[in-house]
Structure 1
Amino acid sequence: MTSKNIKAPYECMELKEYKLSDFVPEFSEFRQSDDLSRFGCENIENNLIRLEKRGKIHFENRIGICPSCKSHHTVKNGTYERKLIFLRIGEQICTIQKYKCKKCGKVFYSDLSSLVYSNSNITLPVINCIENLYQIYGAGLHKIRFDLKQQHNIEISHQSIENILLKSKYEFNYENRTYSGYYLFDSLWVKIKGKWNYLLALFDVKLNTLVSVKLVESEDSKTIYQFLHESLRNQEKISIGTDLKHEYREAIDKLKVKQHFCKFHVKQNINKRFRDYFDKNQLEKEEFNELIDLKRHIFKILDAKNLNDAKNLRNLLLDKKYSKNNFTIKIVDKFIIPYFQKLTTHLENTNIPSTNNKIENIFQKIFPKHIKRTMKIEQGLLRRFMLKLNHWNIKNKKEKNHTSF
């Protein structure tokens, strides 16, 4: 008799695969991580269990540990209700397990520190979502509130969002590192309660990271010197790039460090001087063309490909017979010639950048003009700056294998 393989009928088989947790709610702690992520609980510590009891979210510890005597000999001692706000499901009334220690008699509650801060009803995933919305998109308080309502079914006030941003934990890391010695320095003007303040920043060119940041009320040379001196104590100091402010020159000269000017700011300054002179004076065509020719020659010096070319162009400028007046003397004899080395330092050393674009880019991305005029308190400004700085740093870690901040 020949044997036959008979296939079992599959039409009658159920599509759903039941789990024990579908029948016994206490076993819901064994559900997959995607279940936890639906409620914004994916990052809770292993000792904290999320259950569903009588239609409510219930939290308890796998092992009740007395916070007073650290004893594990504890028994359950009732529950209490607490209102919590979760991602995706919004506000929920949860039950929290209470315990009593057999050893010392202390009554304590389940440890929720991995899910929510004490004296707060907004869970950590919601706080992280708010910080990310500000870091990545720079969204305002009311826009963040709208996004939370539309995307995550969360209804909280804009003041609560403001408090979260003010209490953000990200801080600038000042631990000692060895920096390259090539720096850029600049300050960001920010308005607090209608008064201008200055956010000083020092940037390491080679490591692509900020060295130090400080908010000050004055931008005088003494304040800048103290900031640079404290930031670069016991660090190598080869060169610092800045714009043309005389306060910067005085501070860096006192620090006895080589300074180089940002080529972009130099060109911008020269263009402004020529434009103002043309606007205030009626010039003959010949004189006008002579000044235009002078400006082009100066720009050729700034754009020279190597130091020898720059020196040759400088010598040609000195030999050239142009009309000398107060304006040309200030441009050539009091700026280009005396500061020729500061203008061409990047041609001597390829590690020195010709512009301050890197630090300017940080300021533009972190605090654009429409934001830096609206700050009300110092804490709010610094917290917002640090949050945006954290996002900028995460994006730029790919460029250099260096952990900044």
Structure 2
Amino acid sequence: MTIIYAHTRLIINDQIIRKEEFTKETIKKYFKESFKGLKLNTIITDGYSAYPEIIEEIGAKHHSCTFHIMQRLMTPLQKHINKLNRSIKSLEEQIEKTTEKIEQLKNKMPLKKGRAKKTDKKRIKNQNQRKNLKLKNDKNKFKLKQIKNEVKEYIEYKEKISQIFKSKSIKTAMNRFYKLNEKFDEMPEIIQDFMRKLSKKLEITLNHTQNRKIPSTNNLAELIFRVTFPGKIKRIFRTYKGAKRQIRLNNLNWTKRNVLGEK
């Protein structure tokens, strides 16, 4: 866990906590030790469920990172959009193949004016094949249009939700939320589920629209993780002591470059 002061980029505390020890009590103890003697205003978190109660207990305002909020929307949404995109690709391939078959049948037996004679069974068969293939294509094109419109609708909803968090004032943010929420019954299930959850946490996600000094995200902390202890480094350490030593060294380099301005 890492606590960083957003305005100075100074690391207040940094500690490796084993997964099995990452409990509410451990977090509470870590927070109290880290913030001892400090005047607290707002603590930005990734939205982990244990944080709100702990932060309220230590007397600070809680702000939930808007990037992580959007990520919780995007994970199931992108999964669904990817599924729809696979359907789009499949339908487009089917339409292309069917169109090629129709062209092959046309080239094999070009159309003639008037109806085919009843005795011309080959021509009648050819015409029926083309007719059936065209019907198949028309159905697939209709499905394709529907699915593309569905993807477009999801992307539009995502953008409207994103605009809530990008608002310059709390009034604009709330207006955008309520205007969107008026169409709740018309929303796809994935968007409904997100809006339902967001409505319960709306207050702690919009602090940055009331106070411009509060960052909307905890991206700075995420950046520190990538700089001081990236995944490629995590995997090479065999001991807790070695990992801790490397983090301490990287934190020192971070402070020199980002706090003291040294190169």
TM-score normalized with structure 1 length? 0.45
Q: Equivalences for 1:289-368 in 2 at 5 Å?
A: 289-320=152-183, 322-324=185-187, 326-335=189-198, 337-368=199-230
Distance 1:301 1:397 in 2: 32
Distance 2:186 2:28 in 1: 39
Does 1:204 find its partner at 2:5? Answer: yes
Q: Measure how far apart 1:355 and its partner are.
A: 1.8
Match of 1:255 among 37, 40, 58: 58
8 Å contact from structure 1 (residues 221, 250) kept in 2: no
Does 1:266 find its partner at 2:129? Answer: no
Match of 2:233 among 361, 368, 371: 371
Bigger helix share: 2
Report which structure shows greater RCO (CA 8 Å, sep ≥6).
2
- Give aligned pairs, total: 200
8 Å contact from structure 1 (residues 242, 261) kept in 2: yes
Distance 1:207 1:305 in 2: 23
Counting aligned pairs with the same residue, the percent is: 25
State the match for 1:220 in structure 2: 23
CA RMSD in angstroms, aligned pairs only: 2.5
8 Å contact from structure 1 (residues 290, 322) kept in 2: no
Distance 1:204 1:321 in 2: 38
* Alignment-mate amino acid for residue 267 of structure 1: M
Q: Measure how far apart 1:256 and its partner are.
A: 4.2
Q: Deviations over 1:207-264 (max 9, x none)?
A: 3211112222222222111100121123212111111322334433443421112222
* Structure 2: 5+ residue stretches without partners: 88-142
Distance 1:347 1:369 in 2: 33
Q: Deviations over 1:21-53 (max 9, x none)?
A: xxxxxxxxxxxxxxxxxxxxxxxxxxxxxxxxx
3-state SS of the aligned residue for 2:167?
coil
Bigger strand share: 1
* Structure 1: 5+ residue stretches without partners: 1-199, 401-405
3-state SS of the aligned residue for 1:333?
helix
Distance 1:326 1:206 in 2: 39
State the match for 1:110 in structure 2: none
Q: Measure how far apart 1:299 and its partner are.
A: 0.9
* Alignment-mate amino acid for residue 31 of structure 2: L
State the match for 2:251 in structure 1: 389
Distance 2:59 2:190 in 1: 31
3-state SS of the aligned residue for 2:200?
coil
8 Å contact from structure 1 (residues 346, 354) kept in 2: yes
The structure number with the bigger radius of gyration is 1
TM-score normalized with structure 2 length? 0.67
3-state SS of the aligned residue for 2:216?
coil
8 Å contact from structure 1 (residues 225, 251) kept in 2: yes
